Chain A
Amino acid sequence: MKNEAILEKWSGKVATVTIGALKQEGGSRRSVIKAGGEEALPFLFREGSIANKPVIAFEVWDIYPSDWPSCLLGAYGDALKDPLRWAKKCTEEYGAQLICLKLQGAHPDLGNKKPEDSASLVKEMLKTVDVPLVILGCGDDAKDNALLPACSEAAKGERCLIGDALQDNYKTLAAAVLADGHSIIAESPIDVNIAKQLNILISDMNLPLERIVINPTIGALGYGLEYAYSIMERARLAALAGDKTLAMPFICFVGQESWRAKEARVSMAEFPAWGQEGPRGIGWEAVTAAALLQAGADLLVMRHPEAIGKIRNYIERLFGRQGCL
């Protein structure tokens, strides 16, 4: 007897969020990114259409990332001293399709750069690279409320993805993003109820659900990865069952979380049994990313070019097997 695969039928679909605007669309990007659009769980191609491959964004900071471990610093070298050179290295040397500019230096404790300086950096960045941009604030609510609207305006018409909006601080950013034609990242603390609530609050400000990307907040391997996975899975199952208020693509900050893990950072001198720290950290980032892809991640923000290479390869191989999965 022939065994027949039992295939799930879904009625819902994840919204497709477009990042970047081409010249003819009023922007200046050479390419655009489409995130989301799934009609099935990750890589289950026979259960529904999966129109877009997950995309990896290279993380670029506006200041030198002095707390990054040496293995990461070594991968980019001197370019880390200049965000424009850094971004160019990502696109030209490593073929980045998407740059995630983190305005860390605007944080009151980390340089306190002025909003207008950050806005002009965004303008310069848009001239320097021609791939779409994700723009992140510094994480200080008050500062971000001054910083992000300025950057949003500076990038008007380029259809960037800007974040993060939080449950108790979303109005300023949502208004700016709405006015300037961008999309927004809605962040919730590994909590599907808050993710849903925040999406509703943002859409109540007239930003369409198709312009929201969920940052579910993740933990790296060994630091709550399974918990993040289960929250993402729950949200995605609801989306596929028809809940439009959770049917958004996910963005996962893999690099940031993975390279915080002790296991990714400490040297072999300290823990000889753990082996070389470089390959260990790269592995930590890649494994975290691979697991999150299986949870439904659409956008991964990553750091090490080698980890990114491994994950690109992983995505290509899975998509190459569409007929079998």
Chain B
Amino acid sequence: MFIIGELINGMYANVARAIKAKDKSLVQACALEQLKAGADALDVNCGPASRQPASDIRWLVETIQEVTDAPLALDSSKPEVILSGLESSRNKVIINSTTADKEKLDKLVPLAKKYNAKLIGLAISSKGIPQSKDQRLELAAEIVASCAEQGFSAEDLYLDPIIMPINVAQSQLRQILEVIREFKIISEPSPKTVIGLSNVSQGASRRGLINRTFLVMATAFGLDAAILDPKDKELMDALISAELVLNKQIYCDSYLDAYRKK
């Protein structure tokens, strides 16, 4: 599983304060802690309160790059903010994200190509959140088709089925799991799949338990990547164990340590 740490996000009060006060040490510590806990990449999001997201993301990218060369997932719905992040990135980059809307795809796919970035494509459009498996597949297929037309490799594309909170759309979660598997057969070579995990438990009690249960199930359906809190040790232990059950890692008594040594 490719793990994108979610904690550098202005949605969290401490990060929002750090962005405002230009407190590098908090952001850098947050980056290193997530990597140490098993993150392969770091999500970078200025948060909803940022008034100058284009300069804030630049500051975040530059700050993080001082301490690591791990890939960065530039997280914004605004292409100009993504562009600002791309311009300041020395590390490998994941664009997070485009929707299935043509105007977004026409802007972000060329940027991904130009900056040799990976791209997260959300199965969502300006028409709203999909309500069924077929709608999700249709939106995903539009993204894949646009990438193919523009010469962007499906292997560098991560499709996100859009996770709905369990207390909002309980009946959709099973379909979302199924669609993770079906996304893989949209094209050859297959696109990859990603989820923003914490959404599943938004507003619910027992968030940790719901998160790790869903992640384990999604892993069994072939999920490639997840945006999550890598410092949630129980979550990571459950994920590592799920990969073991799926024969993706070789068992040994210290398999949790072994995974973390990698």
Contacts and interface: CB of A to CB of B under 8 A. Distances in A.
B258 interface: yes
Contacts of A197: 252-254
B12 interface: no
A193 B252 contact: yes
Interface in A237-262: 238, 242-246
Contacts of B253: 193, 197
A200 B262 contact: no
A138 to B, nearest CB: 28
B241 to A, nearest CB: 15
Contact of A243 (B254, B257, B262): B262
Nearest to A196: B252
Most chain B beta carbons < 10 A, residue from A194, A201, A234, A243: A243
Contacts of A234: 250
Nearest to B257: A200
A197 B254 CA distance: 6
Contacts of B249: 238, 243
B254 A200 contact: yes
A300 interface: no
A252 B251 CA distance: 23
Contacts of B250: 192-193, 196, 234-235, 238, 243, 246
Interface residues of A, number: 17
B135 to A, nearest CB: 35
Interface in B232-262: 249-254, 257-258, 261-262
A239 to B, nearest CB: 10
A244 B252 contact: no
Contact of B252 (A194, A203, A242): A194
Interface string A172-214: 0000000000000000000011101100110110000000000
Given A193-B252, A196-B252, A242 B262 contact: yes
A196 B258 contact: yes
B258 to A, nearest CB: 5
Contacts of B258: 196, 200, 243, 245
A103 to B, nearest CB: 30
A203 B257 CA distance: 11
A244 B262 contact: yes
A246 B251 CA distance: 11
Nearest to B253: A197
A242 B250 CA distance: 11
Contacts of B251: 193, 196
A203 B253 CA distance: 15
A99 to B, nearest CB: 33
A203 B262 CA distance: 12
Given A196-B258, A245-B258, 12 more contacts: A193-B250, A193-B253, A197-B253, A197-B254, A200-B261, A203-B261, A204-B257, A243-B258, A243-B262, A244-B261, A245-B262, A246-B250
27 contacts: A193-B250, A193-B251, A193-B253, A194-B252, A196-B250, A196-B251, A196-B252, A196-B258, A197-B252, A197-B253, A197-B254, A200-B257, A200-B258, A200-B261, A203-B261, A204-B257, A234-B250, A238-B250, A242-B262, A243-B250, A243-B258, A244-B261, A245-B252, A245-B258, A245-B261, A245-B262, A246-B250
